[in-house]
Amino acid sequence: MSSAAPPKGAPPKTRRARHAKASGRGARTARPAGLWRDAWHDLRRRPLFTVSAVLIAVVLVMAAVPSLFTSVDPYDAAGCVLGDARQGPSAAHWFGTDNQGCDTYARTVYGARNSVLVGLGTTVLTALAGGLLGLVAGFRGGWLDAVLSRVTEVFFAIPSVLGALLILSIFRTGTVWTVTLALAVLAWPMTFRIMRASVITARGQDYVVAARGLGASAGRLMFRHILPNAIAPLIVVSTINLGVFIAAEAGLSFLGLGVQSPDITWGLMIADARARFHEAAGPLLFPAALLSVTVLAFIMLGDAVRDALDPKLR
């Protein structure tokens, strides 16, 4: 948000602090800070944020550089020994092995990348598409808003699994990118509605009226005045959604609709391990545990961000 950045040519912090003390006409608080910086300051002191941020950081590093966590490359078929299938945890295989005799720990680590890619990709797509359309619809109102709102209602009426099935069947094969697209197509109406509602609230605020009175253009009103004040709910929901999308990807892959073998995702691993669960629980439990922890971490982060951004608590 550009408005949160210090204005160009702002004096260094020390000078501002000195003035706050020296001036009898001083403002209420000496700490110079925008609302975003206040929120960040506040966020850092929340244990919920620290815990979730650390967990998410670990998952992100795992997704980016899985070789940091394991020397085994699960995409290399030579690493799997069928004779070792469904073994319990041991020094060689921390989480045991799966039906093909592959190392469950290595596969779980490598599975993070696809899950995180789907989560991030879908979140960015929905935030951009839903956010921008919501901004324009909420600001302009009129027929554009009416049409877009009806369209989102149609999307809400489609059962999501059925919708995903339809969209993915168009592409024939499931990859990370088609799953991302399918989820984004189904989820943008949610971000649209959230953005539209908060834009409509912000649009009527006095400072927007004041800017109109100065002769501000529509672009300035939208991006300088309304967007920075309306985006907080979208950020919160997007954070939570990131976890939800990761879970959705696992669900689709589990059903065989999503990413296909030989790619590795947590959902696929769970699906593969399901049939022989009674013989070996490890190949199902470990990816499922990491999936749950990741989803939970994003939801906790979303909660922490919501509290930090809530101006009523300020």
Partner 1 sequence: MAATGDPVLEVRDLVKHFPVTQGVLARRQVGAIRAVDGVSFDLRRGETLGIVGESGCGKSTLARLLMALERPTSGSVRVGGREITRAKGAELKQVRRNIQLVMQDPYTSLNPRMTVGDIVGEPYEIHQDVLPRGRRRRRVQELLEIVGLDPDHADRYPHQFSGGQRQRIGIARGLALRPEIIVCDEPVSALDVSIQAQVVNLLGRLQQEFGLSYIFIAHDLSVVRHISDRVGVMYLGKVVELGRDADIYGRPEHPYTRALLSAVPVPDPDGRERRERIILQGDPPSPADPPSGCRFRTRCWKARDVCAQQEPPLQVRPGASHESACHFPELYPVPRPY
Partner 2 sequence: MTGITGGTPSMLPAWGGGAVPRNEPLLAVEDLHVEFATRQGAVKAVNGVDYTLEAGETLAVLGESGSGKSVTAQAIMGILDTPPARVTRGRVLFRGTDLLGLSEENRARVRGRRIAMIFQDALSALNPVFTVGWQIGEMFRVHQGASRRDAERRAVELMDRVRIPGAARRLHDYPHQFSGGMRQRIMIAMAVALEPELLIADEPTTALDVTVQAQIMELLTEIQRESGMGMILITHDLGVVADAADKIAVMYGGRIVEHALVHDAYRAPAHPYTRGLLDSIPRIDRKGRELHAITGLPPNLLDMPPGCSFAPRCPYRQGDCAVEAPPLHRIGPTRGSACHYWREVLDGSHG
Sites of contact with partner 2 (CB under 8 A): 24, 28, 42, 313
Gap between the Cα atoms of 246 and 119, Å rounded: 5
- Decide: is 27 part of the binding site for partner 1 (CB under 8 A): yes
One residue of 75, 171, 207, 277 binding partner 1 per CB under 8 A? 207
Least separation in angstroms between CB 97 and partner 1: 54
Q: Break the chain down into helix, strand, coil percent, rounded to 5.
A: 75, 0, 25
Structure tokens at 227: 């967007």
Instruction: Categorise residue 86: left if φ over 0, alpha if ψ from -120 to 50, beta otherwise.
Output: left
Picked from partner 2, partner 1, none, the partner binding residue 93 (CB below 5 to 8 A depending on kind) is none
In the bound state with partner 1, the residue whose beta carbon lies nearer, of 148 and 182, is 148
Q: Which of 51, 197, 200, 211 binds partner 1 (CB under 8 A)?
A: 211
Instruction: By CB under 8 A, name the one of 51, 161, 216, 285 that touches partner 1.
Output: 216
Q: Do the beta carbons of residue 68 and residue 110 sit within 8 Å?
A: no
Choose the one of partner 1, partner 2, none that binds residue 312, judging by a C-beta under 5 to 8 angstroms depending on kind. none
Site for partner 1 contains 101 (CB under 8 A):
no
Contact status: 228 vs partner 1 (CB under 8 A): yes
Cα dihedral 10→311→55→296 (10° resolution): -150
The rounded distance, in Å, linking the Cα atoms of 188 and 54 is 28
Q: What are phi and psi of 184, to 5 degrees?
A: -65, -40
Q: Is 219 in the site for partner 1 (CB under 8 A)?
A: no
Cβ(120)–Cβ(114) under 8 Å?
no
Residue pointed to by tokens 């206040």 = 38
Are 229 and 206 contacting, i.e. CB atoms less than 8 angstroms apart?
no
Q: What is the size of the binding site for partner 1 (CB under 8 A)?
A: 41
* Beta carbon nearer to partner 1, 6 or 163: 6
Residue 6 binds to partner 1 (criterion: CB under 8 A): yes
225 touching partner 1, by CB under 8 A: yes
Looking at residue 7, what DSSP letter applies? P
Which residue, 233, 207, 231, is CA-closest to 220? 207
Partner touching 47 among partner 2, partner 1, none, CB below 5 to 8 Å by kind: none
Q: Residue 29 or residue 71: which is nearer to partner 1 going by CB?
A: 29
Q: Which amino acid is at 228?
A: P
CB of 197 to partner 1, least distance (A): 18
Site residues for partner 1 per CB under 8 A:
1, 3-4, 6-7, 9-11, 15-16, 19, 23, 25-29, 32-36, 205-207, 209-217, 220, 224-225, 228-229, 311, 314
